[in-house]
Amino acid sequence: MKTRTRSAAQTRALGIAVAALLRPGDLVVLAGDLGSGKTTFAQGIAAGLGVDDPVVSPTFTIVREYEGRLPLAHVDVYRLDRLQELYDVGFEELVDGERVTIIEWGDVVQRVLPADHLSVELEPGALPDERLVHVHAQGRAWRDRTERVESVVSSASSAEDG
Ligand code: ADP
Ligand code: MG
């Protein structure tokens, strides 16, 4: 599934809409170059989960945790030197059930991530503030939510058309 956003606010709004589908234990894998909007999208998810604290990029800490309607862990593996560091910060325990976990640059460590996840890839569009957003629900955990994901993504697209 693919949509297009034309501003940071629209990407954030898409994150808010996606948050409504999330359950404890969900993993959201964010891919895309620096400045593509991964943190902006993560901020939308956090807002949608009712997180009040400001969500900043966790680049230097690898993981930050927030309290919302569901607990949220925001992971950024950009500066990860070795895969072992991901285990050192307790990544496996993070994704074991109680919270929602978002991982920026998650595609880089894809091979050690759970098969069940929502993958969101952002890429530049034709205009400076435009982003193409590819959303794919993967694995059993998402099987019964595929239609809702489609609906969220397609309403983002129609909002843009309208
Ligand atoms: P990343 O985490 O991928 O490095 P950020 O979300 O931190 O990216 O930064 C994205 C930057 O691009 C922000 O300055 C944001 O305001 C800007 N921007 C412009 N248009 C968009 C858009 N359509 N979606 C997301 N961010 C956008
Ligand atoms: Mg970021």
Q: What is the mean pLDDT of the chain?
A: 93
Residue 5 CA: which ligand 1 atom is closest? Answer: 23
Q: Has domain 2-161 been given CATH number 3.40.605.10? A: no
Ligand 1, CB cutoff 6 Å, lining residues: 5-8, 10-11, 32, 34-40, 57, 104, 129-131
Mean pLDDT for 21-43 is 97
The helix or strand, by DSSP H or E, that contains position 111, with its residue range, turns out to be none
CA angle 116, 36, 87 (to 5 degrees): 45
How far away, in angstroms, is 30 Cα from ligand 2 center? 9
Q: What's the chain's length in residues?
A: 162
Q: What is the distance between the alpha carbons of residues 99 and 30, in angstroms, rounded to a whole number? A: 17
Least confident stretch, 53-67, 73-87, 103-117, 125-139 = 53-67
pLDDT value for 64? 93
- Name the pLDDT band for 59 (thresholds 50, 70, 90): low
DSSP string for 38-77: HHHHHHHHHHHTT--S-----TTTSEEEE-SSS-EEEEE-
Q: Which two tokens stand for residue 60?
A: 């230097």
Q: Rounded to two decimals, what is the model's pTM? A: 0.95
Residue 130 vs residues 32, 35, 67: alpha-carbon distances, Å: 13, 12, 31
The predicted-structure confidence for 110-133, as pLDDT tens digits, reads as follows 888 999 999 999 999 999 999 999
